């Protein structure tokens, strides 16, 4: 799993039928020290995250698991909201 911050959402008038009724959010990946790392990504939202929230997201085949038994064609999915983050050091 990876850490990120929700910075926006995607509005689409036409999308893959497998993504029907799925929310798509824009996430900025972060390091554990809360520094931006890499490019912003689009994630499906399995938990109802909102703008500005810190989240856990996953990639690959596992990103479709929260939607089972429905097969959602996704490569990145938000799977948790971070309430508190403590970094030692």
CATH number (domain holding residue 67): 2.40.50.220
pTM for the model stands at 0.90
- What's the confidence (pLDDT) of residue 35? 95
29, 37 contact by CB (below 8 A): yes
Handedness of CA 36, 41, 42, 43 (dihedral sign): negative
Say yes or no to pLDDT of 88 above 80. Answer: no
- What's the confidence (pLDDT) of residue 7? 97
Q: How far apart are CA 81 and CA 12, in angstroms?
A: 24
Say yes or no to pLDDT of 50 above 90. Answer: yes
More confident residue, 6 or 33: 6
Say yes or no to pLDDT of 73 above 90. Answer: yes
Which is nearest to 47 in space by CA: 75, 6, 79, 3?
79
Task: Give domain status of residue 88, yes or no.
Answer: no
- Domain span holding position 27: 2-81
Task: Give domain status of residue 24, yes or no.
Answer: yes
Whether the bond into 61 is cis, omega within 30 of 0: no
Radius of gyration of the chain (CA): 13
Task: Give domain status of residue 87, yes or no.
Answer: no
């Amino acid at each position: 799993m990876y850490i990120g911050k929700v910075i926006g959402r995607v509005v689409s008038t036409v999308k893959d039928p497998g993504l029907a009724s799925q929310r798509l959010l824009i996430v900025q990946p972060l390091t554990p020290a809360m520094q931006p790392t890499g490019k912003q990504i689009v994630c499906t939202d399995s938990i109802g995250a909102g703008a500005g929230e810190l989240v856990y997201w996953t990639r690959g085949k596992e990103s479709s698991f929260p939607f089972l038994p429905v097969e959602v064609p996704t490569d990145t999915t938000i799977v948790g909201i971070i309430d508190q983050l403590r970094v030692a050091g």
